[in-house]
């Protein structure tokens, strides 16, 4: 056994082919000691090494049933935190690159959410009137805030069920950090746009007056996904001009007008299943992350299906892309030496409260 952790610098200059070989060799040595979870947005160069794949909800459901000592998460920081919270106490969760964050998650932090809580409490009794819902794309401390205040976590798959549950608890919802998912979900449930004002956490009272707050059904946090925010109605119109019989399918993190003009709107799992189950030779414009779309386009080609990325700008989730073969090989070889790196460990109290909101989500969905 080595007495020191292998430094990443030893892997930085490795060619991808060499990394691929070392990853495969390491997986053979480690066997059932590890399990690799891969999110659909992950780059193919590491995604192909995943033992289980899925969107955020699917991966969260997997975690509680995993037997491996080490959970290697090919995703971003908040996903690894969820794995640590829902996994067994003796399991170790590892994120190959700690810089793999989420720009949307960064748009809401605990300081701003607690300040929002205090400001809204001046207008009404927060814990009697408002159910806080955090999208799973958020830090563990925000999930803990929801756990402490009778709230819940949601994903793009279960958001309608979660919102329906929330309104049975209290009359209003504070939805963060993604306004697009909250707006689309509320709209599909019959909540008017006027009843879903945007709360800007950097302005006094969120930039709203007391009447607007009291009349609101859903207060939407001013946040978004940088990738999905790129999609525009003009992309849909151009595709329809070229392919009048084509279908539009979008993720609910896309802007409202994109979702409203799509034939289908749903999570990454929904997008994958819908296109896979479609008739041969159909044409699809897809409003979600580039790696998923490219992978799906290649898979569907033998069936004559055209699967096209919605934007003309080539853009992948840049933080997700930080996990590359070099980081994965480095991570695995350190585990072989019993010197795991980049361990994700949520503080005990925070994990306990966050688990409350995650367990509520899993029970509801």
Helical residues (DSSP H) of the chain, grouped into ranges: 9-12, 16-30, 44-47, 56-63, 77-86, 110-123, 126-129, 140-148, 159-169, 179-188, 210-215, 233-242, 256-260, 268-277, 290-300, 325-336, 348-364
Question: How many whole angstroms separate alpha carbon 6 and alpha carbon 177?
Answer: 37
Could you tell me the residue range of the domain that residue 116 belongs to?
105-225
Q: What is the CATH number of the domain that holds 285?
A: 3.40.50.10800
Let me know whether 141 and 116 are in one domain. Answer: yes
Q: How confident is the model at residue 311 (pLDDT cuts 50, 70, 90)?
A: confident
The residue that leads in pLDDT, 207 or 9, is: 207
CB 193 within 8 A of CB 183: yes
Decide if 119 is inside a domain. yes
Q: What is the pLDDT of residues 178-210, one digit of tens each?
A: 999 999 999 999 999 999 999 999 999 999 999
Decide if 287 is inside a domain. yes
Q: What is the pLDDT of residues 83-133, one digit of tens each?
A: 999 999 899 999 999 988 777 778 899 999 999 999 999 999 999 999 999
Let me know whether 166 and 239 are in one domain. Answer: no
Decide if 1 is inside a domain. no
Structural element, H or E, at residue 344: strand 343-344
CB 130 within 8 A of CB 121: no
User: Domain total for the chain?
Assistant: 3
Structural element, H or E, at residue 339: none
Let me know whether 204 and 239 are in one domain. Answer: no
Q: How confident is the model at residue 2 (pLDDT cuts 50, 70, 90)?
A: very low
Give me the pLDDT at residue 26, please: 97
Q: What is the pLDDT of residues 11-43, one digit of tens each?
A: 988 998 999 999 999 999 999 999 999 988 888
Average pLDDT over residues 139-165: 96
Question: How many whole angstroms separate alpha carbon 134 and alpha carbon 70?
Answer: 27
Let me know whether 117 and 214 are in one domain. Answer: yes
Let me know whether 165 and 196 are in one domain. Answer: yes
Instruction: State the DSSP code for 87.
Output: S
Of 53, 65, 80, 62, residue with least CA distance to 331 = 80
Q: How confident is the model at residue 318 (pLDDT cuts 50, 70, 90)?
A: low
DSSP per-residue codes, 66-83: ---SEEEEES-HHHHHHH
Let me know whether 151 and 121 are in one domain. Answer: yes
Decide if 357 is inside a domain. no
Buried b (16+ CB within 10 A) or exposed e, 55-93: bbbbbbebbeebebbbbbbbbbbbbbbbbbbbbeeebbb
Beta bridge partners of 343: 94
Q: What percent of the chain has pLDDT over 90?
A: 79
Let me know whether 221 and 246 are in one domain. Answer: no
Q: What is the pLDDT of residues 232-285, one digit of tens each?
A: 999 999 999 999 999 999 999 999 999 999 999 999 999 999 999 999 999 999
Place of tokens 């995703």: 75
Q: Is the pLDDT of residue 343 over 50?
A: yes
Write down which residue in 225, 258, 279 finishes a domain.
225
Sign of CA dihedral 131, 137, 140, 141: negative
Q: What is the pLDDT of residues 46-55, one digit of tens each?
A: 999 999 998 8
Give me the pLDDT at residue 225, please: 82
Mean pLDDT for the chain overall: 93
Give me the pLDDT at residue 301, please: 97
Give me the pLDDT at residue 1, please: 40
Give me the pLDDT at residue 105, please: 78
Q: What percent of the chain has pLDDT over 70?
A: 96
Let me know whether 208 and 137 are in one domain. Answer: yes
Write down which residue in 185, 205, 225 finishes a domain.
225
């Amino acid at each position: 056994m080595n007495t020191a952790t292998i430094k990443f610098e030893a892997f930085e200059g490795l060619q991808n082919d060499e990394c691929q070989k070392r990853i495969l060799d390491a997986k053979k040595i480690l066997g059932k000691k590890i399990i690799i979870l891969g999110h659909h947005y992950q780059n193919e160069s590491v995604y192909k090494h995943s033992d289980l794949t899925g969107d955020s909800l699917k991966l969260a459901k997997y975690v509680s049933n995993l037997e491996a000592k080490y959970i290697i998460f090919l995703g971003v920081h908040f996903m690894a935190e969820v794995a640590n919270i829902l996994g067994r106490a003796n399991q170790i969760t590892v994120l190959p690159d700690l810089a793999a964050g989420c720009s949307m998650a960064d748009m809401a932090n605990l300081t701003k959410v607690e300040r929002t809580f205090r400001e809204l409490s001046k207008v009404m009794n927060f814990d009697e009137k408002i159910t806080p819902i955090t999208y799973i794309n958020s830090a563990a401390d925000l999930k803990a805030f929801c756990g402490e205040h009778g709230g819940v976590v949601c994903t793009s798959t279960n958001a309608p069920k979660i919102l329906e549950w929330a309104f049975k608890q209290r009359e209003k919802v504070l939805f963060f950090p993604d306004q697009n998912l909250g707006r689309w979900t509320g709209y599909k449930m019959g909540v008017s746009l006027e009843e879903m004002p945007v709360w800007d956490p950097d302005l006094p009272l969120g930039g709203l007056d007391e009447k607007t707050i009291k009349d609101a059904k859903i207060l939407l946090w001013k946040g978004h996904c940088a990738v999905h925010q790129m999609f525009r109605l003009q992309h849909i119109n151009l595709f329809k001009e070229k392919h009048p019989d084509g279908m539009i399918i979008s993720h609910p993190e896309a802007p409202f007008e994109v979702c409203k003009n799509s034939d289908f709107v749903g999570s990454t799992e929904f997008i994958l299943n819908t296109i896979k189950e479609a008739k041969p030779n159909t044409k699809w414009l897809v409003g979600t992350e580039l790696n998923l779309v490219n992978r799906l386009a290649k898979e569907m080609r033998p069936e004559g299906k055209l699967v096209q990325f919605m934007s003309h700008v080539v853009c992948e989730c840049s933080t997700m892309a930080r996990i590359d073969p070099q980081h994965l090989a480095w991570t695995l070889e350190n585990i072989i030496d019993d010197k795991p790196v980049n361990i994700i460990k949520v503080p005990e109290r925070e994990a306990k409260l966050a688990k409350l909101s995650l367990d509520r989500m899993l029970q509801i969905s």
